[in-house]
């Protein structure tokens, strides 16, 4: 349902996304095998036919480091 995903440049959020269940798991920064949740989300949107834009912090419409424009 996401048409465009906006990700803040340089922002990191340690964690994983299970693509089968949609479950999000956050982990402590520096944890072994921490992964990168924002990358996982970007990959999923790309696979589903959406666009992913990495933009500078001062242009982000949110403070969370991520925002979405839905298809409908």
pLDDT of residue 19: 87
Give 7-19 pLDDT, tens digit per residue: 999 998 999 999 8
Give 20-66 pLDDT, tens digit per residue: 898 998 888 788 878 899 999 999 999 999 999 999 999 999 999 99
CA distance linking residue 62 with residue 55, whole number of Å: 12
Contact 17, 69 (CB under 8 A): no
How many Cα neighbours within 13 Å face the side chain of 62?
11
């Amino acid at each position: 349902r996401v048409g465009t995903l906006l990700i803040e440049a340089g922002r990191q959020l340690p964690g994983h996304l299970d693509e089968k269940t949609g479950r999000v798991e956050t982990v402590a920064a520096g944890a072994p095998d921490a992964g990168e949740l924002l990358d996982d989300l970007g990959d999923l949107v790309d696979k589903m036919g959406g666009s992913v834009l990495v933009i500078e912090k001062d242009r982000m419409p949110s403070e969370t480091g991520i925002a979405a424009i839905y298809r409908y």
